[in-house]
Structure 1
Amino acid sequence: MNEEQNLTTGSVPGKLIVFALPLLFANLLQSFYSIVDMLVVGRIVGNTGLAAISNASMAGFIINSVCIGLTMGGTVAAAQYKGAGDEKGQRETVGTLFSIAFLAAILVTAIGLSAYKPLFRMLNVPPEAMGDTCAYMKIICCGTVFVFGYNAVCSILKGLGDSKSPLAFVAIAAAVNIVLDIILVGPFAMGTEGAAYATIASQGISFMISVIHLKRRNSVFDFKFRHFAVKPDKMAAILKVGLPAAAQMAVVNISYLLITGMLNRFGVPVAAASGVGLKINTFAGMPCWAIGQAVTAMAGQNFGANDIDRVRKTTKAGLYLNIIITLLTVLLVQLFAKPIMMIFNPVNAEVISDGILYLRICCGANSLVYAVMYTFDSFAMSVLQTLPCSMHFLDAVVRFP
């Protein structure tokens, strides 16, 4: 069954919600990679392992952010060609994006492997956690190609209107990750290294399944060698969105990394608490990201179809949804901060109290500002614009009829 949706017709809020829900569940499940790592390692290895994964995950976030940002250009280009009914443009976008993603994966892997040790020293990772942190990060860096490949496939599928298939891929990968985590960290006693192997194995499986799906289900790409040729115009379109998005996401995650480094000075409990707090805060942002991704795909298709009024309505609906859902999420985190922290470390009172303080500060009113910003960023990307060029389009959107 073809899961692709035509996002240029039908109810705007209805289509947006239906398209965003699978993306939300996929984002939640994908975050389980590191969440499950922390749960299993925190309970079996203890605070040292928890601090190790907290620090290594922050560096991993930078790799993931570069990957997601770069491949986001593929979503926009595919959506616009889909809206315009241009199958050749769709096919050339897929091939070009795969080539870009492969080259970027090699570069990022090389940088990651050479930089993680001095990075962790600079971040003042607690000495007792340094060995586990480096071991975890080395393995994660070696799986970068799977992350780039998977996100490249999913970005294309989202642009073509398919948000359900990525959910299926992630569900399988999450199940594999949970099983391997329990086995490798527990009975095999591999500690944090076992958690890292579980993560890259699940990512590799998810990538392979997504490639097979794209080959079998999508008529615009059949994986012939000639289709991987880089088309200069398609590369320019992808990078016009992808490079600024990757840079923006990398800068945000680097700032979190620097904060983690400052908190490491206060010892293992604070480092562990901040890592858990960041994970929870990341979970709280998932609905906002899903709606933003839906806005990008839907506005992109309508922009390709030259329906500017529907682009405006899409952004407007996304803005309202993001504000309402983010407000509810923040309230839930503030009300249940202690029980949530106790899921990760039920016995260490210092980790729990520090984690609650982290959530009180970082998951508050600032999240509403982020929700508004991310909605408009998603819109700006959908029309292949980056600030300040998008201000003209933004003005047209916010002048609600």
Structure 2
Amino acid sequence: MNKKDTKNQANLRLNDRGSGPNSRVLEFIANPKKAVWELSFPVMLGMAVQTVYSFTDMIFVGRLGGEAIAALTFNMPLGFFAIGIMFGFGVGATSAVARFLGAGDKKRADNAASHAILFGVFFGLLIPIVGMCYKTQLFTLLGVPEKVMPGALSYFQIIAPSFMFSNLSVQFRSIMTGEGDTRTPIVVQITGTILNLILDPILIFVVGLGLEGAAWATLVSQLTVLLFFLYHFFIRGTPYISPNFRGFIYDSKIFKQILQIGFPASLSMLIMSVGNMFWNRMVAKFGAEAVAAYGVGGRLDSVYFLPTFALASGMVTLTGMFYGAGRIDLVRETVNYVLIRGQILAFGFGIVFYVFSPVIFTLFTSNGVIIAIAVDYIRTIVFAFPFMTLGVISGRIFQGLGEGMPSLLLTAMRVILVSGTLAYVFVYVMKMGLWSIWLALALGATVTSVTALFWLYVRLRQLEQRAVNNR
């Protein structure tokens, strides 16, 4: 049987099993390169708006002083932890929905969506409750300075309930991404972000709430986003996928499939969150200005990460659909295409950040010490951008294949084995100073990403060989 016959048989199986008229599987199979941008571009647009918001939010908070920036920065790893757990299960939902649709099984795709939403309800209630009960202990563990603690606590007390709204929104967005619709969720996200941008200066400066105003703006915008998703799913019926709780049937196999991706992905997010707490605590050893610099530096490198994550998130959907349809050849073709485009992004952003970061950071603060530290950070980390791109995209492809453990093991390797160990040795044993933390982060990302790429191509080769043997 030749390659063309194999492709035709895969497409016939897909049609026979009932890929509906609104499913985009066959469209993506026909033109995978176009599909990459159809899935990724709306996400990039949404992330661009989110980046503008992050910049603007930090600029507004920066006008309140260095302590306000530090308070916001100390809240970042806790927010990352809360949302990260549900992003992990969201990736599991995206992968499961995409693979079921790729195999032409809409009924199980619908049921997978129902399971994912229930995950969102459970963790959306659990995480804020636990966070509110142990907020003081958490910030103490983070090493928050005494003068920053009141601001960090007041911000968290307002922002914590928003985790419930955002967790559910993540599940709805992940389901729509799994069916190949990234446009609708991004429109919803942009609406919430614009609302946040409008509310920020009003609540911070006009009403005079200060840092608490930024928290209230986020809370209101996250609730608005959730209401829009509920409207699209249960009133307008926008998605092709139709979760149904009246006729909900628990399916242990579907639960296991989501969990196989979702649990390792959530654990990866947990490891990264704990790692961020560790970095914050270590950076805090060098003072509040160092923490503030790490915060604004992180906002800038997020500009690079967001389009990279957009490309990677599209690969979860495409890999899942192509793998479910038995088209491993398209998986490899798309992987090569996306990795090359990712490198172009990495080098472009790296050059711009290295040259213009001193000017960019003046938007956030006029404090010369904070700017100098932030420039050191960004001019170190940009050298790892090309490698980070390889690692981020490789991890998402594994998830699209229904394999969650590689991403978890690679995250543990980066955060704990390489970056964490090196940072501890550099700072506490070799007394190399603050810059050595940035070096440890860059080295950890580089070593792990090279490992991830090698692992991915070995796995793709195994799947290709299996496909040949099954012909």
- For normalisation by structure 2, the TM-score amounts to 0.79
Q: AA paired with 1:315? A: V
Q: AA paired with 1:72? A: V
CA contact (8 A) 2:398 2:406 kept: no
Aligned to 2:58: 38
CA 1:4–1:128 in structure 2 vs 1: closer, same or farther (change >3 Å)?
Answer: farther
Q: How far off its partner does 1:211 sit?
A: 2.2
CA contact (8 A) 2:95 2:402 kept: yes
CA contact (8 A) 1:146 1:203 kept: yes
Q: How far off its partner does 1:199 sit?
A: 0.6
Say which of 220, 236, 249 aligns to 2:256.
236
Aligned to 2:283: 263
Q: How far off its partner does 1:22 sit?
A: 0.8
The CA distance in 2 between the partners of 1:145 and 1:192, in whole Å, is 21
The CA distance in 2 between the partners of 1:325 and 1:259, in whole Å, is 26
CA contact (8 A) 1:69 1:249 kept: yes
Q: AA paired with 1:118? A: Q
Instruction: Answer with 366-375 or 239-248: which moved more.
Output: 366-375
Q: AA paired with 2:393? A: T
Q: How do 1:2-401 and structure 2 match up within 5 A? A: 5-6=24-25, 8-32=28-52, 34-43=54-63, 45-215=64-234, 216-221=237-242, 223-227=244-248, 229-345=249-365, 347-362=366-381, 364-387=382-405, 394-397=457-460
The CA distance in 1 between the partners of 2:128 and 2:175, in whole Å, is 23
CA 1:288–1:3 in structure 2 vs 1: closer, same or farther (change >3 Å)?
Answer: farther
CA contact (8 A) 2:75 2:152 kept: yes
SS at match of 1:226: coil
CA contact (8 A) 1:41 1:192 kept: yes
The CA distance in 2 between the partners of 1:167 and 1:374, in whole Å, is 21
The CA distance in 1 between the partners of 2:76 and 2:330, in whole Å, is 39
Q: How far off its partner does 1:115 sit?
A: 3.0
Unaligned runs of 5+ in 1: none
Q: AA paired with 2:322? A: N
Q: How far off its partner does 1:358 sit?
A: 1.3
Instruction: Answer with 215-224 or 199-208: which moved more.
Output: 215-224
Q: How far off its partner does 1:14 sit?
A: 2.4
The CA distance in 2 between the partners of 1:130 and 1:338, in whole Å, is 29
Aligned to 2:15: none
The CA distance in 1 between the partners of 2:277 and 2:347, in whole Å, is 26
- For normalisation by structure 1, the TM-score amounts to 0.92
The CA distance in 2 between the partners of 1:232 and 1:138, in whole Å, is 37
Q: For 1:153-204, what per-residue CA distance to the aligned partner results, in whole angstroms no more than 9, with x for missing partners?
A: 1101111000111210111001110111111101111111111111121111
Q: How far off its partner does 1:143 sit?
A: 1.2
CA contact (8 A) 1:71 1:155 kept: yes
CA 1:386–1:57 in structure 2 vs 1: closer, same or farther (change >3 Å)?
Answer: closer
CA contact (8 A) 1:123 1:261 kept: yes
Q: For 1:102-133, what per-residue CA distance to the aligned partner results, in whole angstroms no more than 9, with x for missing partners?
A: 11222222222233311212222222221110
SS at match of 2:206: coil
CA 1:139–1:31 in structure 2 vs 1: closer, same or farther (change >3 Å)?
Answer: farther
CA contact (8 A) 1:4 1:162 kept: no
Q: How far off its partner does 1:55 sit?
A: 0.9
Q: For 1:298-329, what per-residue CA distance to the aligned partner results, in whole angstroms no more than 9, with x for missing partners?
A: 11111111111111212221221212211211
CA 1:219–1:368 in structure 2 vs 1: closer, same or farther (change >3 Å)?
Answer: closer
Unaligned runs of 5+ in 2: 1-20, 408-451, 466-471
Q: AA paired with 1:384? A: G
CA contact (8 A) 2:111 2:244 kept: no
The CA distance in 1 between the partners of 2:142 and 2:221, in whole Å, is 28
The CA distance in 1 between the partners of 2:241 and 2:404, in whole Å, is 28
CA contact (8 A) 1:274 1:358 kept: yes
CA contact (8 A) 1:292 1:375 kept: yes
The CA distance in 2 between the partners of 1:219 and 1:295, in whole Å, is 20
CA contact (8 A) 1:380 1:394 kept: no
CA 1:245–1:31 in structure 2 vs 1: closer, same or farther (change >3 Å)?
Answer: farther
Structure exhibiting the larger radius of gyration computed from Cα positions: 2
CA contact (8 A) 2:102 2:323 kept: yes
CA contact (8 A) 1:3 1:165 kept: no
Q: AA paired with 1:395? A: V
The alignment covers a number of residue pairs equal to: 396
Aligned to 2:417: none
